Each structure stands twice: as C-alpha cells, then as structure tokens.
Amino acid sequence: MKQLNKYADLLFEVAFLKRIERTGYPYLGTGKENIASHSFGVAFCAWILAELSGEKVNKEKLLKMALIHDLHETRTGDFNAVNKLYNKADEKRAFEDAFEGIHLKEEVLTLWKEYRDMETLEAKLVHDADVIDLIIQLKEQKDLNNPYAEKWIEYAKPRLVTPIAKKLLEAILNTEWCAWWYNFLIKKNANKNYKRIS
C-alpha cells in the first residue's frame, strides 16, 4: 500500500503541470498555455511525425518520451529563452526525486537522457514535435494579428532536424489556424454563402 501512495503522489505531481503556465507567452504579448497542454500537443505531434516518417519507430518509447519531456518542470519551473540566459535547471535531479521509490525511475531517466542526447530517431521526432507544437501556437497568434509571432516562427524553424518535420511545417504555415472548422462548416453548409479559406 505504501508503494501505491508513491504513485498517488506522482499522479498529483503530473496533474500539477495543468497549473504551470509556459513562461514565454508574456514576451510574445498574446496567448497562453499550460505545460500539460503543451505536453499533450507534443505527444500527438510526435505520433503524427512517426506515422508520416515512413521509418521504423518505436512508438511506445516515442510517446513516453514525449509525455515526460517537460515533466521535470513541476519542480524546476519553465525557463523561457530569456530565463535560460541566467538559470540552469537540474532536470536529472528533478526526475530522480519525482520518481524516487517508483520502479519506473530507471526507464524515465533513460528516456530523459535519450531525449537530451537527441541521437535516436525517436528523440529527434520528439524534439521536432516540441518545436512544431510551439509553432502551431505561434501560427495561431500570427493569424490573429500578433506582429511578433512571425519573428518567433522564423527563430524556431531552424531548430527542426528531421525532413518530415520540415515538410509538415510548410503545410502548417500554409494553413489558416481556423481552417479545420471553418472549411468543415462550408462543406456541411454547401448551399450557404461561405467562402473557403486556405
């Protein structure tokens, strides 16, 4: 039963990611997002990249890696690009402490190290999913007329490393953020006077 209490603690810690806001958005001037939402976006995007890559990908490892890639931020906080000039988080220690006494500890530390080393295909896809999830948010802000979002997108684009992520990025940049629902309505209401968007 004591072991289950450790898992209960861990689940409360993971849920805490819903309360921690990503700290870059004040610098952008618009938008906001919590770390749990970002982690969901990264996991889903990593899955899509794995499917599109046409390569043999260990999807279980990929999804676990995506889920934990920012989990340390429950303890370290989220350092944006400016914060990182002055601060360094001890991510390994945060993971060690969070998973102390839990048999997942070694697997999580191995996944975290693999992600940071960025030598495997899975790590590269998760890295690119992390960048693309940010760009998705930036594209939305650009389409909503934030003049700085385009600069941030240009800053983020060179960080992509896989060919498939670069191809997906072009599609993202050529798609209006609201096209998925707006164009759906046009199709459903074909006899009404709507104009399709890109």
Q: Residue 142: what pLDDT?
A: 98
Query: Nearest Cα to 185, choosing from 196, 174, 171?
Result: 196
pLDDT at res. 137: 98
- Residue 17 is classified by DSSP as G
DSSP letter string, 128-188: HHHHHHHHHHHHHHHHTT-TTHHHHHHHHGGG--SHHHHHHHHHHHTS-TTHHHHHHHHHH
pLDDT beneath 70, residues of the chain: 1-2, 191-198
Please report the pLDDT score of residue 195 as a whole number.
67
- Which residue matches tokens 């998925």? 180
pLDDT for res 21:
97
Torsion of CA 61, 72, 69, 33, to 10 degrees: 140
pLDDT at 193: 65
Whether residue 34 contacts residue 19, with contact meaning beta carbons closer than 8 Å, is answered with yes
Specify whether the backbone of 116 is left (phi greater than 0), alpha (psi in -120 to 50) or beta.
Answer: alpha
Q: What is the pLDDT of residues 33-78, one digit of tens each?
A: 999 999 999 999 999 999 999 999 999 999 999 999 999 999 999 9
Nearest 5°: phi and psi at 21?
Answer: -80, 145
Q: Given 3.30.70.3040, 1.10.3210.10, 2.40.50.140, 3.40.50.12280, which CATH number is that of 2-188?
A: 1.10.3210.10
What pLDDT, on the 0 to 100 scale, is given for residue 177?
A: 97
CA pair distance 30, 24, nearest whole angstrom:
10
Predicted local confidence at residue 53, as pLDDT: 97
